[in-house]
Each structure stands twice: as C-alpha cells, then as structure tokens.
Structure 1
Amino acid sequence: MNKSLSPFDVLGLGFMTFAFFLGAGNIIFPPLAGFLAGENITSAMSGFLLTAVGLPLVTLIAAALAGGGLPTMGRYLPTGVVTVMATAIFIIIGPAFAAPRTGLVAYEMGLKPFLQDPSQFTLTLFTIGFFGLVLLLSLNQGQLLDAIGKVLTPILLLLLIGLAIAVFISPQGTQPEVNEAYMAQPFVKGFIEGYNTMDTFAALMFGMLILDVLRQKGVTDKRAQSRYLMIAALIAAAGLGFVYVSLFILGGTSLGVVESANNGGEIISAYVLSLFGAPGLWILAAIVSLACITTAVGLVSACADYFHRLTGKGSYRVWVVINALACMLVANVGLNTLITVSIPVLVAFYPVAVALVLATYLRPLMRAPVFAFRLTLAVALVFGLIDGMQAAGLNMSAFHLLPMFDIGMAWVLPTCVAVAIGLGMPAPRQQVTA
C-alpha cells in the first residue's frame, strides 16, 4: 500500500538532500571566485550557480522522471559504458579529488590558521592523522558516526547562516579589483568554476539513494516518488543557492581582510577571525574539520563498497584501506595543486553528464533513443576531451575554429547538433523473422 509523506517528512527529505550536497569542501570555491571577480561578481556568480545549483537540480529531476539515477538514465547505453561512467564518477568523487579535498579543507581551515610556519611536513602529518581516523571510522562505521553527521550538518548550516547575516549587516572589507581570469568572460569562468563542486556527478548517484529512502518510508507509487524527489531537489537547491550567494558576497567584500588568497578557505578563516575573533575561528575550525571527517568517511565507505561489489575481489575492509591510503597520498599535493589538476578532468567529463541529463529530458521526443543517447554522449565526450586537454595546457590550436573553443566550451554546439540528429532519426524497422 502506497503511503503519503507529511509536510514535515517532505521537509526532512529536502534537508537530507541538501546535506548530501553540502560538503565542507564546496564552501571554499564561492569566496575565492567572489574575491577574484571583483565588480564582475554578479556575472561570475550567475555562471557558478548555473552549474553548482542548477545542474544538480535538473539532474535530480531527470533522475525522478527516469525513475532512478545513473543506471536508469543510462539504460539506452551499453552496460559496459554505464559501468565505466559509474566507476569514473566514484574515482572522481572518491580517491582522485573529492575525498582528498576534504582532508585538505580540514587542514586549511582547521589547523593552518593556527600555525606559525606551515610546511609540507605539517601537511603530511595532518593527512596521515586525518585519513588514519577516516580509515578507522570507515572500518567500523555505525550509528554514532551517522548521528554525528546528522548533527554536524545543521550546525554547519547555522554557522554559515550566521556568517551570511554578519556579511550582509557588517561587511569587513571592500570589493577587490577584477582578476584577469574574470575580466573577459566572467559568466563562463564562473560556470566552469562550478564544476569544482562535482555535484552534478553526485546527483546521478543521489537520485537512487533518495528513491531508496522513499521506498523504505512506504512510498511505492512511482509518480509519488518522482514528485517527492522533485520537491526535495528544489529545497536542496534553495539551500545551496543561499549558501553560495552569501559566500560569493563574503569573498567580494574581503579586500582588507585579506590582500590576496590562494583558496577560499583562507578567505573564510580570515573573515571569521575579523568578525568574531579567535573564539569564532576555533568554532569554525572544529565544525569544518568534523564535517570534513564525516564527508570523507561517507565517500571512502561508498567507494569501497562500490569497488568491492564491482570486482568481487577483496573484502570491503581491504577496499577501505586502499581508498584511504590513496586519499592520503593524493592529499599531500596540497589544496591548490589538487584543484588545478582536477579542473581539466572536470572540464572533460562534465559535458557527458550534462548530455545524459539533456537526453533524459528529451527521451519522450526520440523515436530511436538508443541511437540518440549513444550519439549525444559520444559527441559530448569527444569534444569535452578537447576542452579538457586545452584546460590542461596542451596545444589544441588545431580546433580554434570551433565555436566557443576559446572559452573552454567547444562541446556545446556539437552536442546540440548531435541531439538534433538524434531527435530527427526515424524509429528502427522491426526485423521480420520467418
């Protein structure tokens, strides 16, 4: 028998979805973008919100329409391709980028502000301790850690709300000059910076998790599931939008609080110190560090479980050890280097996720969905790789005639053409057998 959720349950589902996306690592990108954008902050912020809030929102809605996440959205693709996509997503949000970033954000905001002379040695010691703790918690994950996570996310949100109110009421600095990177195309620069949240990739997986939660609550009707998932997505998007806009404004009013910054963690720490003094900085450090630990445990555990099920080799605990060690090694490159390395990868593969979402929305108009899906994603991948290689600094001048190549979005027009071809393709003829 299908059950209906009360308004309180729906609100809880929305906040749960918001908590899925609000990783402590995500809060470091808007302040730096706001600081560098200067007077172009509105344009840069609009581009950032489109990819950091808009794309995850429409991805969750697409998952709702399809009745699930990546497996159902990719049902017109070869099974092997879907497996490769899922594996790539888990590597990106796991040991390659997102999970090591949690340790680096904890270091930047939880320890570095209190060090007189931070060095590579202190970073190495911290990452060993941080991911050693993550390893132990992942091996023995239980209700205590889950409860801590449920408490920390609201506390972090309340802290960010308090910080946002303080920024609006009592800005601590002035607007910086426009950085060269945000001079010519601030909207596009902000759009690509939004890739760093990796939330569109995550949304492809979260759709399945939210639907599982709804089934556990007795919501079995598919239309009801889709409706509740859409509402939860809207609540999460509203929360993320509020947090990101506030942090953009924080960064855009921080000249004088900081004269220069390499990452957003430095800006937030300096701003909190200016607003609330040392006690505020200690509170921020504690909350962000604990939130990073719970996020890291969730990512390491999810990746270990996925690779254990995928390969059928080694126990869950073996994969936890492998993932935790990989995170520790990657984290030692430092936050700035990790972000720099991640950008070409995200520029290359984000178009594929966008193409999958677009194809999912247009599925009712397709007469040959298998052909349309495969063509669209293949074109998005090829031209996304071109953009990614350009972002990595390789000489890709041979492709300079492509529209929007110079701004890192050469994939857009070819993907739209592929979509048009897919929509125009007639339905395949049924084979007649004797």
Structure 2
Amino acid sequence: MTRKDTFTIGFMLFALFFGAGNLIYPPELGIQAGTSFWPAILGFILTGVGLPIVGVAAIALVSDDAKALGSRVHPMFGLVFTAIIYLAIGPFFGIPRAANVAYEMGVMPILGSGGTMALFLFTIVFFAIVLFVSLNPSKIVDRIGQWLTPALLLAIVALSIASFFQLDAPLQSPETTYTAAPFFKGFVNGYLTMDAIAGLAFGIIVVTALKDRGVTEKRSIFKHTLKIGAVTAIGLAVVYTSIGWMGAKLATFGSFEGGADILSAGADHLFGSFGAILLGVIVALACFTTCVGLTVACSQFFSNTFTGLKYSHVAAGVTIVSFLVANLGLSQIISYSVPVLYFIYPLAIVLMVLSFFHGFFKGSSYVYRGALIFTSFFSLYSGLSAAKITWAPLQSTLSIFPLFEEGLGWIVPALVGALLGYLLDRSRRNSKYVAATKKVS
C-alpha cells in the first residue's frame, strides 16, 4: 500500500459518503442553529463523520460484510438487519433521494421545473449511467477516487471559499429546537445523512480494495482502514462546516424551503448565473458517486448472500426499483424514510460500538443481545414518534431515562443491557465450569 493508494481509496470513500443528505442538511442546520452553530455542527459531525468511519472500521475488524457483524447477535438477526440496512440506504431511500436531489439542485436551477415528466426523463438517463458504471465494481476505486472526487472537491472548495469571504452578515438567534441543547440536536440530525449505516455497507468496498492491493492480514487491514478513514473524515468535516456556515450566514437573506433552496440561493448570490452551473456540477458529482457506491454495495451483498442471484441482475433490479421510487418525489421519500432511520440508527450505533469491545467480553452473544434488546424499545419509540404515532404510557415510562428529551435516551439502557448480558454470560460460564468440575471429581 502506497500513500497514493491511501489517498485514492480515501477520496473514493469521501465521494461515496458525500451525497444527497450531506448537501441538504448542513445548510439547513446552519440557518436554524444561528449563534448556536458551532455546538450544533460538532454534534452533526460526530454522527455524520465519526460514526460512518467507525462503521467502516467495524467492518475492517471482522474483514467481512455487515452480515458477519450482525451475526454476532444471531445469524438470523445478521441477515435480516443487514438486509434492512441495504434496502434503506439503497433502492428504498438512499439512492432515490440522491437522484432527486441531483435533479432539484443540479437541473432545475438551470433548466427550470419541467414537472413529473422532466423528472421521469432525467431519472431514466441518470440511472442508466449509474447502472453502466456499477456493472464494473472492480474499477470503482479508480473511476471515483482518481477522477470524480478531485473534481467534486474543487467545486466545493470554490463555493466554500467564496462564502467565507463574501458572506459577512451576523449570525441570527437560534430557532427553538437549537436553543436548549444544540449539540444533541445536531447529533440526532446527523442520522438523516444515512452515513453511519452506509459505513457498514461501504466497509466491504474498502476491505476489498485493500485486498486487491495485497493487504490481507486482519491487523493490517484495520490499520490501513483507519488511515483511509482519516482522509475521508477530514474532507467531510471541512465540507460540512463550510456549507453549514454558509447556511448560518444566509439567514438574513429571507426564508428558504430547505437545504437545497439555501444552497441554490447561496450559489446564486456568490457567483450569479455561474453559481447555478457550479452547484449543478457539485450536486451531480456528489449524488452520482453515492448512487454508484450504494448500487455496488447492495448488489454485492445480495448476490453474495443469495448465491442464485447474479451480480449484474441484482444491480439492474436495484436501479429499476430506485428509478420507480425516485419518481415519487423528494419530499415524499424524505417523509417516509425519517421514521425508519430513527429506528435503525441507535441499533446500528450500539452494534458498531460493541464490535470494538468484542475481545473484552469474549464475543458473548448475550452482551450483544442485551444491549440491542434494551435499545430497541427506544429506537422503536423514536421511529413511531417520527411517524407521528405516539402512545402516552410508553412515553411517560421511557422519559425517566437520561437524555430522553434530546433523543438519546437509548444510551443508558444499552449500557445496562450490555452489562446484564455480560453478567448472565459469566454466570452461565461459571455454572458450566462447576458442572464440569463435579463430573471430573
């Protein structure tokens, strides 16, 4: 592994992560957080940058895919939970959302809105190109890491530098949701990027790229993954802070419908008509690379898991389903994806964190199960709440736990569940030891 390889794979991973949610949510956070921008963006970066790299590193630890990680709980859990993750970040939510953002921010500002027919025609061309590139997964590192990512970074740098020097309006007071606990609000909003669960999917791409370069020993894979992750993390953190700061500075320019509208207004203010073209290039490259990475990851998972499925057939199926869902429209996709993400994220975080302490508790499935069972009550509540489904008795029971109001009430129960699982495992081992001793004597 050369230094060039580290940066090439790191750039590839950056491009795979940096897609639709990464573009639209930081500016929205900035305009809402106002003077609370810095703690809010720090919380966002923790889930939007830190956790995705942890997810990739967790896969590197097992040198396999996310199913192997989930199987530490139970083989069936590993299969079902991993399938849900891939479907969520793939054809049901992640890929269609990226295609819609590419259309709304990359095409509409330049050509105007053409209604549903324009979206239909755009997605036909978009997904045809995605499928073409995805059919050769072995070349994904070179195509994205060496060519597309540098072009993407140059365009983002131009927009970010201009915003730092030309936007000098004072920061506004934060909105209500960012007044009391901006760090935790930013932390939970980082869920919407989908990157932490995407890290579990992209991890196998990084591991495969390392093995293709002759890195096969597990310790070396993990060490190189951390270096690659550092390259990716620095890039993502700088970009999130830059476009989030742009949003915070644009608060005095009027009201906006969302992150896409904020970025479009900022690009227009900074560069005029050229800004729409520059933003179009950024969005097209960011969303395209993410869609390719997600298509490859999903297709590899399902074709490897179900041996009767050919990779090319799965890739075609993923793009077709993504195309159909994409034509529902961005707002519709976001509305039904948020509850699912609020349910999945706490479980994925606990699973990833436990993987780093796997040796400490000797890989006991009781620890994994205890932590995830306790976490599931809170993640289910979060998902139902995001879907506007509430049950007062459940809410009053769960609200006694620390950080519940901040959306992180699952942390203490996860620790308690892991501890109970550990004690149960120790008791089971001691019982077996005592029984074996008696049998010998």
* TM superposition score normalised by structure 2: 0.87
Equivalent in the alignment of 1:325: 320
Query: How has the CA–CA distance of structure 1 residues 255 and 11 changed in structure 2, closer, same or farther, with 3 Å as cutoff?
Result: same
Equivalent in the alignment of 1:253: 249
- Cα offsets for 1:94-141 (capped at 9, x unmatched): 111110011111111112213555544433443344334434555677
8 Å CA contact retained: 1:367, 1:423: no
Q: SS in structure 1 opposite 2:72? A: coil
The Cα of 1:418 is off from its aligned counterpart by 0.6
- 1:39 to 2:35 alignment: yes
Equivalent in the alignment of 2:77: 81
Q: Aligned partners of 1:144, 1:60: CA distance in 2, in Å?
A: 17
Amino acid at match of 2:175: N
Equivalent in the alignment of 1:159: 155
Q: Aligned partners of 1:9, 1:136: CA distance in 2, in Å?
A: 25
Equivalent in the alignment of 2:51: 55
Q: Aligned partners of 2:79, 2:223: CA distance in 1, in Å?
A: 28
8 Å CA contact retained: 2:32, 2:175: yes
Which one of the candidate residues 84, 89, 109 is aligned to 1:93? Answer: 89
The Cα of 1:161 is off from its aligned counterpart by 1.6
8 Å CA contact retained: 2:15, 2:286: no
Query: How has the CA–CA distance of structure 1 residues 77 and 424 changed in structure 2, closer, same or farther, with 3 Å as cutoff?
Result: same
Report which stretch shifted further, 166-175 or 349-358: 166-175
Q: SS in structure 1 opposite 2:215? A: coil
The Cα of 1:362 is off from its aligned counterpart by 2.2
Alignment of 1:131-280 (within 5 A): 131-135=127-131, 138=134, 147=143, 150-171=146-167, 173-257=169-253, 259-280=254-275
The Cα of 1:406 is off from its aligned counterpart by 3.5
Identity %: 36
Which one of the candidate residues 377, 383, 386 is aligned to 2:378? Answer: 383
Query: How has the CA–CA distance of structure 1 residues 148 and 395 changed in structure 2, closer, same or farther, with 3 Å as cutoff?
Result: closer
Report which stretch shifted further, 174-183 or 198-207: 174-183
Q: Structure 2, unaligned stretches of length 5 or more?
A: none
Equivalent in the alignment of 1:413: 412
Query: How has the CA–CA distance of structure 1 residues 360 and 270 changed in structure 2, closer, same or farther, with 3 Å as cutoff?
Result: same
8 Å CA contact retained: 1:383, 1:411: yes
The Cα of 1:55 is off from its aligned counterpart by 1.2
- 4+ residue stretches of structure 1 with deviation over 6 A? none
Equivalent in the alignment of 1:297: 292
Report which stretch shifted further, 345-354 or 185-194: 185-194
Amino acid at match of 1:218: G
Q: Aligned partners of 1:362, 1:294: CA distance in 2, in Å?
A: 33
Q: Aligned partners of 1:296, 1:320: CA distance in 2, in Å?
A: 11
Amino acid at match of 2:190: G
Which one of the candidate residues 104, 108, 117 is aligned to 2:104? Answer: 108
The Cα of 1:167 is off from its aligned counterpart by 1.8
8 Å CA contact retained: 1:44, 1:189: yes
Report which stretch shifted further, 8-17 or 155-164: 8-17
Matched length:
429
Query: How has the CA–CA distance of structure 1 residues 118 and 264 changed in structure 2, closer, same or farther, with 3 Å as cutoff?
Result: farther
Query: How has the CA–CA distance of structure 1 residues 187 and 157 changed in structure 2, closer, same or farther, with 3 Å as cutoff?
Result: same
The Cα of 1:169 is off from its aligned counterpart by 1.6
8 Å CA contact retained: 2:16, 2:289: no
Query: How has the CA–CA distance of structure 1 residues 67 and 367 changed in structure 2, closer, same or farther, with 3 Å as cutoff?
Result: same
The Cα of 1:285 is off from its aligned counterpart by 0.9
Which one of the candidate residues 355, 370, 388 is aligned to 2:365? Answer: 370
8 Å CA contact retained: 2:10, 2:145: no
- Cα offsets for 1:295-315 (capped at 9, x unmatched): 323323432343344344565
8 Å CA contact retained: 1:37, 1:178: yes
Report which stretch shifted further, 169-178 or 144-153: 144-153
Q: Aligned partners of 1:367, 1:221: CA distance in 2, in Å?
A: 21
8 Å CA contact retained: 1:387, 1:411: no
Query: How has the CA–CA distance of structure 1 residues 374 and 292 changed in structure 2, closer, same or farther, with 3 Å as cutoff?
Result: same
8 Å CA contact retained: 1:109, 1:288: yes
Query: How has the CA–CA distance of structure 1 residues 332 and 11 changed in structure 2, closer, same or farther, with 3 Å as cutoff?
Result: closer
Q: Aligned partners of 1:213, 1:25: CA distance in 2, in Å?
A: 25
8 Å CA contact retained: 1:17, 1:236: yes
8 Å CA contact retained: 2:202, 2:293: no
Report which stretch shifted further, 306-315 or 228-237: 306-315
- Cα offsets for 1:277-332 (capped at 9, x unmatched): 21232133134224423432332343234334434456544433432232222223
